Amino acid sequence: MESEYIARRVMQLREYKGISQGNMSESMGLSTGYITKLESGHNLPSMTAFLKICKYFHITPKEFFDEGIADPGQHRGIIANLRKLDYEQTDLVDKMIKALLKNSSDDDIL
């Protein structure tokens, strides 16, 4: 179960960023085979490798396990920017998000 989740999440984060297994492995100093085995669920990362993966994606271990957020770093940045807005600006952002979600659910019906 854990290896399946970790495999899916590493692949999700990598693909969302548009990074190949080769580029990821080279940047991290790991073999491409290691990343392939990790994403196929054949290997679980050591704690050191797991923390290195989180650092590579600029996320915390907690964010790694929040699969509902495709890009935790971007999400964190949006939240930080929201904190800089006043009430009226935040209200506008909230209305825009609700409109986007409504349009998204309308598309699901079609």
The burial class, CB within 10 Å (0-12 / 13-18 / 19+), for 51 is middle
Interval 14-46: pLDDT, tens? 999 999 999 999 999 989 999 999 999 999 999
The DSSP code for 96 is H
Among residues 2, 7, 1, the alpha carbon closest in space to that of 39 is found at: 7
Domain at 2-67, CATH from 1.10.260.40, 1.10.3720.10, 3.30.930.10, 3.40.50.10470:
1.10.260.40
User: pTM of the prediction?
Assistant: 0.74
Alpha carbons within 13 angstroms on the beta-carbon side of residue 101 total: 6
Interval 46-87: pLDDT, tens? 999 999 999 999 999 999 998 788 889 889 999 999 999 999
CB 76 within 8 A of CB 64: no
What residue segments make up the domains of the chain, in order of their start?
A: 2-67, 73-109
